[in-house]
Chain A
Amino acid sequence: MLRRSVMRSLLVAAALAASFAVWASPPSMIKIGTLYAGSGKFSQASTRQYDGLKYWAKEINAKGGVYVKAFDKKIPVKLVAYNDQSSTTLAASLYNRLITQDRVNLLVADYGSVLTSVAIPLARVHKVLLFDETGTSGKFFEPKDKNRYIVLTGLPTSSEWPKVLADFMQHVGIKKVAILYASNDWSGSQADTLNSTLKSLGVEVTFYESVPDSTSSYSTILRRIAATNPEAVAEFGYSTNDIAFLQNYASSGLHFKMMFVPNPALHFDVVRNAVGDAAIKNVYSYVAPPLIRYNKQVNFGPTLDRFEAAYTKAGGKNIDLSTVAGYNTGLIMGKALAEAPKFTQESLRDSIDTFSGKIFTLDGLFKVNAEGAQIGESLPVGQVLPTKKGLALLPVFPLKNAAAKYVYPQPANP
């Protein structure tokens, strides 16, 4: 009996020593696992986001690696990335592979909520911290889930996005608003927030309807919206929806005092090239980095100007929000490794809480709540206005962030 208990104690001690050795001995490299969509409907944004992350890894390795506080030394990083082709089933399998076979030290999600969604339960059950770059669905961060294994590094949750927009509508005295949205999580949650916020501000929502994601003709819907006499129209959808909507609006002969669509903030050139200057001029949208630059406030990592110069010099394409989000995720991971006293997932998560709300990156204030949702950033309202270099989406509200005076009522385009 005594011998058995001694043996058991020895085994426990050996196991503890082994587990200590796992984090006590520094790895030769920090493996960061991620996915990107090389094809399919998320490919454009996803590959740019991946490019941003790759650039961060290249940059940090050129400096000798990332500083890991648990080992008090710099360790090179290695990206392990697979192409999920915008497929959730393939993505789930590949996330599983990254965790169980490649045994990555850090896990980074692919672009957007759909491709991030399948990583969440896997990360949670395997107790791996998921760095969520742009999966902004509020469902991922519900307090009742008590999930500590996720952190949204970039944008705020999508339901937060239109709050400044509602303030702007109230600021210019709009009393009647029509809201149209595509039936997906991202668009629906924005529409829902705008609808409830406007109602609480005493603004009448004259039209509130959804259309399928695949909608490509809005002519009839625009007539129905016009029949409700709104002063402002907000359309929420993917870029294909926004493009079709703006094209149909331009050819409809209708005129509203304010027209808002979200995607110029994310893919300004794509939307502009598709609809033409005449159709996008004076349209309102959100403004996010790189269209807004927090150069003066940045206290961690390079400013957007410096990043853009270095990135394009290194051969990268023009930066957009996805590129910034990818790079910013690298910065946050680096900071977490530099602050965590132990090389464990739990310690990394705890360390994020210690610098949350204290660092301002090129993407904005990094601040997460207990559920890991981003609450530091907000999206100002912008308007497509003429500049010396041609049309540009400029921040116009809140006024303290404004780079131009808004034009309201929006003039009718020729």
Chain B
Amino acid sequence: MLKGWRSTAIVTAITLVTFIVVPKLYDNQFLLFNMMMYMALAQGLNIIYGYTGYLPFGYVGFFGAGAYAGALVIIFLHWMPLIAVLVGGLTAVLFGMVLIPLFRLSGAYFSIASLAASEALYYVVANPHLEKITQGPYGISMPQAYDANAAYWTMLGILALSLVTSGIIRRSRFGLALSAIRENPLSASMSGVNVVQMRSLSWLLSAFIAGLAGATFGWYISVFYPETVFSLTIGVFTIVFILFGGIGTLIGPIIGTLILYGLYNYIGISTPQYFQIAYGLLIVLLVLFLPNGLVSLLKRRGVDVP
């Protein structure tokens, strides 16, 4: 048991130290910021998808909600960006609470319904009639709040929070309950697991992390449009990263993001003409030969993967 906690702590520490040290050696801060963001999002998605088996295609909705909520309190209430980030997280939780009835659905139906909810929120935010509140399709501009360094360290904090939360859940009774729900909700319920409560809690935790990440992203770029923060690409990337690394583990989403987002940037810069084909081939090979992600290679050899 202690060994498990130790490996979780080591993975968390190495990840965080890496993002503290690398900026001193590598200048492209935004690439590192994005990598942290996707790692945090992947851990957030892991909490709901990896542990309970519910895959929300519209996960980016929480991200967008957080980005907008954070930006609006900065613009209208002139709150400190750090508080705005927290507001972003809480707004995503609020949105998550509204969507809890989606759990009446399961499988692909749940995934599609969450996607529809995310799109609906996008269209509400981008509605020109709400210009006075959300700025509508004209986007957010808050250059007065721009502070790339502060946003970077905030994202590091969010990554730490997501790693610690995911690590604790994995080794806790709560995590066991979620795994039981993933395997068979009916059996879990018969065994005394409060399925609705546990599932909702993981959903809201997952939303909270995405909301925090969204608000920090908005703060970092400070000029953005609804389509920037509700872009399906963000959600799709997060899902692909977590699948590539391995769901239900702490290290899987980290490895998945590191390799795929790194490749995304490397191929995108060096040989952009081959980008789509290289990325597509990689994913096809993964689905064919490693459907449980890269960590399954270690699991097959009996390694206890954190």
Contact = CB atoms under 8 A, between A and B. Distances in A.
Given A38-B273, A97-B31, A183-B126, A90 B143 contact: no
B28 A117 contact: no
A114 B227 CA distance: 9
Interface string B121-156: 001001111000000111101011010100000000
B268 interface: yes
A39 interface: yes
A139 B265 contact: no
A137 interface: yes
Nearest to A87: B233
B30 interface: yes
Interface string A127-169: 0000000000101101001010000000000000000000000
A90 B27 contact: no
A111 to B, nearest CB: 15
Contacts of B273: 38
Contacts of A122: 30, 148
Interface in A73-113: 82-85, 87-90, 92-97, 100-101, 113
A87 B229 CA distance: 11
Interface in B8-58: 27-31, 34
A185 interface: yes
Where chain A touches its partner, the secondary structure class is helix
A199 interface: no
Given A85-B268, A120-B223, A124-B143, A100 B28 contact: yes
B138 A189 contact: yes
Contacts of B223: 117-118, 120-121, 139-140
B149 to A, nearest CB: 9
B275 interface: yes
B221 A92 contact: yes
B231 interface: yes
Nearest to B148: A125
Given A90-B265, A125-B148, A183-B128, A83 B225 contact: no
Contact of A120 (B30, B123, B143): B143
A101 B123 CA distance: 37
A96 B27 CA distance: 8
Contacts of B123: 183, 212
A121 B222 contact: yes
Contacts of A95: 30
Contacts of B269: 82-83, 94, 97
Contacts of A83: 268-269, 272, 275
A124 B225 CA distance: 19
Contacts of A87: 231, 233
Given A94-B269, A125-B148, A137 B28 contact: no
Contact of A100 (B27, B137, B143, B233): B27
Contacts of A84: 268
B228 A88 contact: yes
Contacts of A183: 123, 126-128, 136-137
B110 interface: no
A33 to B, nearest CB: 12
A386 to B, nearest CB: 36
A345 interface: no
B225 A117 contact: yes
A239 interface: no
A184 interface: yes
Contacts of B94: none
A83 B272 CA distance: 6
A210 interface: yes
B234 interface: yes
A93 B30 contact: yes
A55 B143 CA distance: 34
A140 B141 CA distance: 8
Nearest to A101: B27
A188 interface: yes
Given A38-B272, A88-B231, A101 B34 contact: no
A142 B228 contact: no
Nearest to A187: B137
A285 to B, nearest CB: 22
Contact of A92 (B30, B126, B138): B30
A145 B143 contact: yes
A285 B138 CA distance: 23
A159 to B, nearest CB: 10
Contacts of B137: 183-185, 187-188, 210
Nearest to A185: B138
Contact of B143 (A101, A121, A137, A188): A121
Interface of A: 38-39, 82-85, 87-90, 92-97, 100-101, 113-114, 117-118, 120-122, 124-125, 137, 139-140, 142, 145, 147, 181, 183-185, 187-189, 210, 212-213
14 contacts: A83-B269, A88-B221, A89-B231, A97-B28, A100-B27, A100-B28, A117-B225, A121-B146, A124-B143, A139-B138, A145-B141, A185-B137, A212-B126, A213-B227
Kindly list the 5 A-B residue pairs having the minimum CB-CB distance in the complex, ordered from nearest: A83-B272, A100-B27, A96-B30, A183-B137, A117-B223
Given A183-B128, A185-B225, 20 more contacts: A83-B268, A83-B272, A83-B275, A90-B265, A96-B30, A97-B269, A114-B227, A118-B223, A120-B223, A121-B143, A121-B146, A121-B148, A125-B148, A137-B138, A139-B139, A184-B225, A185-B137, A185-B138, A188-B136, A210-B128
